[in-house]
Copies of this chain bind each other. A is one copy, B any other.
């Protein structure tokens, strides 16, 4: 490899746990993937309203569709100057990198590829089957964005999910219910990890990190950022399932390097 891969990521405002302003959980799946693979890359920050422009500039088609069938331009995406390829969507990026750089840590072992595809469906169902995660973090999520994205996020998310005032503010009765819902999400994931009775299975594949773990870690990274590392919420989460999620995130600590990056030029 000669030139570093470009990671396109949505920026947020700097915080204690994200001094460079890194923000988006799905982008973190790709950041973890790149860091675990130890591939050289640099971050290019793209505000929400600029994502579509970026896709059009590089001549890429949207991978996903909105409910009305129109193209849904999302990040993460990467551009690999060594192969001249633009790839979007964290799992597709993982598969691309596994193929393009076979000497790096394989994040989706071939014999688990189809199981990983099914995992993505199950994980999404558990994570967003109820509105608990969204309700607990939507306001903090919006508050952690820089102005152009914050405005865009508020407008588009309120159109999708209703007024932010209806989400569960601290101290509200609703919040208790959604907190229980969040608890249940992680109880379910722990249940998968311990399905055969092995309490000590830290990663989905046992000893080695695979993309299923990265998918879980991306969101835990984001939840930790939303609540704050010193918050009561994060302390409670790290105590769940006999401390499993603390051990889990401790194992990911070495893969959390973030470069300063640069803003996209369009």
Chain A 106-134, CB-CB to B under 8 Å as 1, else 0, gives 00101111111111111101100000000
- The contact size tier of chain A is 20 to 34
Interface SS of chain A: helix, strand, loop or mixed? helix
Distance between Cα atoms of A122 and B122 in the complex (Å): 4
Residue among A91, A113, A120 with the highest chain B CB neighbour number at 10 A? A113
In the complex, the answer to whether B111 meets A122 with C-beta atoms within 8 Å is no
In the complex, the answer to whether B118 meets A123 with C-beta atoms within 8 Å is yes
In the complex, the answer to whether B118 meets A212 with C-beta atoms within 8 Å is yes
In the complex, the answer to whether B125 meets A119 with C-beta atoms within 8 Å is no
Interface residues in A185-206 (C-beta closer than 8 Å to B): 191-193, 195-198, 201, 204-206
Q: A95 on the interface (CB 8 Å rule)? A: yes
Report chain B residues within 8 Å CB of A193: 114, 117
In the complex, the answer to whether A198 meets B113 with C-beta atoms within 8 Å is yes
Number of copies of chain A assembled together: 2
In the complex, the answer to whether A110 meets B212 with C-beta atoms within 8 Å is no
Report chain B residues within 8 Å CB of A197: 95
In the complex, the answer to whether B112 meets A112 with C-beta atoms within 8 Å is yes
Report chain B residues within 8 Å CB of A108: 196
In the complex, the answer to whether A115 meets B212 with C-beta atoms within 8 Å is yes
In the complex, the answer to whether A112 meets B115 with C-beta atoms within 8 Å is yes
* Min distance, Cβ A89 to any Cβ of chain B, angstroms: 11
Q: List 11 A-B contacts (CB under 8 A).
A: A95-B197, A108-B196, A110-B206, A113-B196, A114-B205, A115-B119, A117-B195, A118-B118, A118-B123, A119-B119, A120-B122
